[in-house]
Chains A and B, each alone.
Chain A
Amino acid sequence: MITCPIFFCAYIKAMVKIIYIEHNGKEHVAEVQNGLTVMEGAVQNDIPGIDADCGGSMSCATCHVYVKEDWYDKLPKKEMGEDDMLDQAYEPNSNSRLSCQISVSDDLDGLKVHIPEKQV
């Protein structure tokens, strides 16, 4: 019974919708595979404004995004070190996250992230 793909789909979506909003307001809706990070979703879908120089090792702060309050609290909590890296980001504030640290899951279907004016 468990091998039935339809059975699975009812519980875990293969793809999750993430909305990336550029600094100029331009919206990009991307289908991101469950389990990838928001950063990887941006890179795979050629969304401008997320550089991700270090490739996701939380050591460059060039995948910085802002997440508004309605979504911010639903995100996985920051791990140690993320705020330290955010200190170095371009214009960080209390809505800042590193998108490489946000794993995409069903709960985040429809997540909106705002991309800063620039990463450096």
Chain B
Amino acid sequence: MIKTDAVIVGAGPTGLFCAHQLGIIGLTCEIVDNLDKIGGQCIELYPDKPIYDIPAVPKCTGEELTNNLIEQIKPFKFNFHLNDRVQEIINENGNWIVKTTNGKKFKTPNVVIAGGVGSFEPRKFPTKSAEKFDGTSVLYSIKDKTIFKDKFVAIFGGGDSALDWAIELSNISKVSLIHRRDEFRGAPASVQKIKELSKKNIINLFTKYSIKDVKGNGSLEEVEIKNEEGESKILKADYVLGFFGLIMQLGPIAEWGLNLDKKAIPVNTENFETNKKGIFAIGDICTYPGKLKLILSGFHEGALAARGCFKYARPNEKYRFEFTTASNTIKDRLGVK
């Protein structure tokens, strides 16, 4: 069990800046994120898109913003727990016991939810029958490609993941690539390669088709695909892979007993605490009168939530407001003179 002053759920810009503010006031924190990298939506949805409304930064990309925030909290040496998701939060004598999917446990007086619109999960096939094979022969990511050796693999999607895996697996498996339109959004070089492989009959390419059904007794045997004219085809398939990007889902947060307004958590604007003592919500996931879903609002919310955390983490101390320009204590924490 890891003891800390605060657990931050979500490593997007809001969570990162809240960590900075916790560090500035002398508190510790641990940061958990479901993605395999730091940055949240900024890195997952729009790493290259310029952002124009970060105060005093006329223009920066999601990736640049993330890198700067990481740099800004470096002095505090906080731990990140990536590829992991907070599953459960239980109150135990005034502290929160936070459990993750990977089995990590934290004991903390404060939980700061900076979860955006929830955690990123792969988008799944709309067909009900695919659920039966989910995780066994219907897959949305690949951990071990050797399982596909000499198998029939049907890959759905038109982005880089779909194209790259179709090319890669065509070396060891019989690959069909199915996409809903003629254009692909993947890299032009990959598209070119796919077309060549299709011409040589190494890959079976079906455009303007989407999934209709998956069938099999016990194990998966075939996948049925359809076009908009209602024509369908049946393909032999041992595995069906879907690469439709990621979707944000509120997930376990909905089960923590917090008040919810649509998909957002109502908070008070004094310290961004929720209806549960010691649980704060900041950034896109919180709501209050006048809420703006801007990164700059998330920064402000994180700064105030950090002060809210101080009260529970240091119940016997009085919080003293200090400026980074003037405080020697803060300069010590930052490791600057």
Binds B, one of A2-10, A24-32, A56-64: A56-64
List the A side residues contacting B331 at CB < 8 Å.
none
In the assembled complex, the Cα of A59 lies from the Cα of B284 at a distance in Å of 15
Binds B, one of A15-23, A84-92, A104-112: A84-92
Known contacts being A55-B293, A57-B46, A60-B45, is A88 close to B228, with CB within 8 Å?
Answer: no
A83 x B181 contact (CB < 8 A): yes
B181 x A59 contact (CB < 8 A): no
In the assembled complex, the Cα of A88 lies from the Cα of B124 at a distance in Å of 10
Q: Tell me whether A120 is interfacial, beta carbon within 8 Å.
A: yes
For A88, give its contact among B49, B245, B248, B293 (CB under 8 Å).
Answer: B245
- How many pairs, one residue from A and one from B, have CB atoms within 8 Å of each other in the complex? 53
Q: Tell me whether A94 is interfacial, beta carbon within 8 Å.
A: yes
Which residue, A60, A62, A87, A88, has most C-beta atoms of chain B within 10 A? A87
List the A side residues contacting B284 at CB < 8 Å.
55
Cβ distance A58 to chain B, nearest Cβ, rounded Å: 9
B247 x A59 contact (CB < 8 A): no
Of the four ranges (under 10, 10 to 19, 20 to 34, 35 or more), the interface on chain A belongs to 10 to 19
Known contacts being A83-B181, A87-B159, A94-B228, is A62 close to B247, with CB within 8 Å?
Answer: yes
Chain A residues 71 to 120 lying within 8 A of chain B, measured CB to CB, are 83-84, 87-88, 90-94, 120
Chain A residues 29 to 46 lying within 8 A of chain B, measured CB to CB, are none
Residue in chain B with minimal CB distance to A54: B45
B180 x A90 contact (CB < 8 A): no
Chain B residues 136 to 195 lying within 8 A of chain A, measured CB to CB, are 157-159, 179-181, 183, 185
List the B side residues contacting A88 at CB < 8 Å.
123, 159, 244-245, 247
Cβ distance A64 to chain B, nearest Cβ, rounded Å: 12
B117 x A87 contact (CB < 8 A): no
Known contacts being A83-B183, A84-B159, is A91 close to B126, with CB within 8 Å?
Answer: yes
Chain B contact residues, CB within 8 Å of chain A = 41, 45-46, 49, 117, 123, 126, 157-159, 179-181, 183, 185, 210, 228, 244-245, 247-249, 263, 284, 293
Chain A contact residues, CB within 8 Å of chain B = 51, 53-55, 57, 59-62, 83-84, 87-88, 90-94, 120
Known: A87-B180, A88-B123, A120-B247. 15 other contacts (CB 8 A): A51-B263, A53-B263, A54-B45, A54-B117, A55-B293, A57-B45, A57-B49, A60-B45, A84-B159, A87-B185, A87-B245, A88-B247, A90-B123, A91-B126, A91-B210
Show 9 residue pairs from A and B whose CB-CB distance is below 8 angstroms, ordered by the A residue: A59-B46, A62-B247, A83-B185, A87-B179, A87-B185, A88-B159, A88-B245, A94-B228, A120-B247
